[in-house]
Amino acid sequence: HNFPLDLAAVEVSSTNG
């Protein structure tokens, strides 16, 4: 996770389940 995009994607994925 070097880029913030990855973190954002992970957050969204977690929120979506």
pLDDT of amino acid 10:
78
pLDDT of amino acid 7:
76
pTM: 0.09
3-state secondary structure of 3: coil
| Rounded CA separation 16/7 (Å) | 14
1-17 residue pLDDT tens:
556 667 777 776 656 55
Contact indicator for 1, 10 with CB cutoff of 8 Å: yes
